[in-house]
A and B are shown apart, each in its own frame.
Chain A
């Protein structure tokens, strides 16, 4: 009887874990970021982390940019074995209040790849500009 109950408990646990993992895959896991974009189109990492799926894209939404600036240029970089970074997507302009944007990589991204999303102000600026938003690295 005890063995049977343990078996049921194991099945139940396995079922919960499966559902949780499935939910992680199906539903987007947006992460909040907040940073400043340097003047004169300086680059800044918006967010970085591991890919949890094999989708070759990331999602970007709820963008808010300071001052009168309205758009940020975004692209993806992947970390190599020698700790260097390789750009794996083209630049794409993302507007404040727009989206959710899907930024596609032009290479095959695998689950477990360490990637970062880089950004720069779309216009040449004289000053630092704050930016906030949410990104799902997928």
Chain B
């Protein structure tokens, strides 16, 4: 019962938090800008020359989408709510909270809301972007995003879920929105876990998931193994060969286990001055 009360309280803090509103606005603005760029390019174009809405979606094959996925996704997710434990600790607020509830419940409730915050700041703007394209683009079209003639079908050989794309292209996009949301959620959870390890700087807590994400992708690309860059698993359409779904899900599960392990170890096993 206490856990639900704290979750509700944390959720209220999250929704009213200034940083969340800023991050959500930035994320949403990017999606709207991407939409307006395409709107400008396709203005007064013959309907036969417009690709379908699912292929215009920012998470499918878009330059702004590329930048969003490559540089912003983990940072936006971490900025929304993941540093609040650090701030509570730094400002001494946690003492007042922990004298009124169990630390276990407090940490768990915060963890749930942090994970939710990372998911929501990524998933909702992506979904809104897709909905916007329904206004200007047809649901189905023989024209594709690759600029190929109508008689040539879009290349699917590098897609992990090619069958889903061919049968239900919009469900395929929703799947990719959820995957991006999960990665955002894990980035926020990683930040949250790091806030238990160090309380030196807010920047370290917020930026660490982005640094891990960028460095691992850069090293993979440098070694000629671009198929191990996480960013290419988050977009609906890439031309990278050798993408492996098992590798992607193992990375997600491992980062989840690692974050949870840090949180459990630092709270349940290592005792502080209050517990």
Question: In the docked arrangement, what's the CA distance between A123 and B222, Å?
Answer: 15
Most buried by B among A66, A91, A122: A122
Quick one: which of B148, B226, B229, B242 contacts A93, CB cutoff 8 A?
B148
Residues in B27-58 with C-beta less than 8 Å from chain A? none
Q: Are A122 and B239 in contact (CB under 8 A)?
A: yes
A window 79-134: CB within 8 A of B = 90-93, 95, 122-127
A–B complex contacts, Cβ < 8 Å, 23 sampled: A41-B63, A66-B224, A67-B221, A67-B225, A68-B225, A69-B226, A69-B239, A70-B158, A70-B241, A71-B155, A91-B147, A92-B147, A92-B148, A95-B239, A123-B66, A123-B239, A124-B231, A125-B226, A126-B218, A126-B221, A126-B222, A126-B229, A127-B222
Report whether over half of chain A's contact residues are helix, strand or loop; otherwise say mixed: loop
- B56 CB to closest chain A CB (Å) equals 14
Give A125 to B217 CA distance when docked, in angstroms: 10
* Structural contact, B240 and A69, CB atoms closer than 8 A: yes
Min Cβ gap B226→A in Å is 4
Residues in chain B near residue A92, CB distance under 8 A: 146-148
Known: A91-B147, A122-B239. 17 other contacts (CB 8 A): A41-B63, A66-B224, A68-B227, A68-B242, A69-B239, A70-B239, A70-B241, A90-B147, A92-B147, A92-B148, A93-B147, A123-B232, A123-B238, A124-B231, A126-B217, A126-B222, A127-B222
**B70 contacts partner chain A, Cβ-Cβ < 8 Å:** yes
Q: How far is the CA of A37 from the CA of B126 in the complex (A)?
A: 30
Which chain A positions have C-beta within 8 A of B232?
Answer: 123
State how many angstroms separate the Cβ of B119 from the closest Cβ of chain A: 24
Question: Is B67 part of the contact surface with A, judged by Cβ < 8 Å?
Answer: yes
Give chain A residues whose Cβ lies under 8 Å from the Cβ of B221.
67, 125-127
Residue on B nearest A92 in the bound complex, by CB = B147
Residue among B155, B229, B239 having the largest count of chain A Cβ atoms under 10 Å: B239
Residues in B with CB closer than 8 Å to A71 are 155, 239
Provide the residues of chain B in CB contact with A127, threshold 8 Å: 218, 221-222
Residue of A nearest to B67 (CB): A124
Taking CB as reference atom, which chain A residue is nearest B240? Answer: A68
